């Protein structure tokens, strides 16, 4: 069975079409929220542990292609 991964967490949204697979976001995330897809010509970051995301914005700041954006989080 194929495993599906989210393209967003509570705090960030990932556009895989903009991702250039530099892996800077994967390396900077100390909470291991982001992972890699590396299959021949199909390469991009992916959100593998959305619940661990704390909204620190490190991945947003390091992404030079705008593939990761911070979502507005409303106060509940």
pLDDT at 75 (0 to 100): 53
The sign of the torsion formed by the CA atoms of 2, 46, 74, 54 equals positive
pTM of the model: 0.84
Per-residue pLDDT tens digits for 3-20: 445 689 999 999 999 999
- Please write down the long-range contacts of 34-38, taking CB distance under 8 Å and 24 or more positions apart: 34/59, 35/5
Taking each continuous run of H as one helix and of E as one strand, the counts in the chain are: 2, 4
Kindly report the CATH number that applies to the domain delimited by 12-70.
Answer: 3.30.70.20
Per-residue pLDDT tens digits for 14-72: 999 999 999 999 999 999 999 999 998 889 999 999 999 999 999 999 999 999 999 98
pLDDT at 6 (0 to 100): 63
Taking the domains of the chain in order of start, what are their residue ranges? 12-70
pLDDT at 61 (0 to 100): 98
């Amino acid at each position: 069975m194929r495993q599906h991964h989210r393209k967003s967490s509570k705090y960030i949204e990932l556009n895989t079409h903009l991702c250039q697979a530099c892996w800077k976001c994967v390396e900077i995330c100390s909470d291991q929220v982001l992972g890699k897809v590396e299959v021949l010509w199909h390469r991009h970051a992916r959100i593998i542990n959305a619940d661990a995301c704390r909204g620190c914005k490190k991945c947003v700041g390091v992404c030079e292609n705008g593939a990761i954006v911070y979502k507005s989080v409303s106060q509940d």
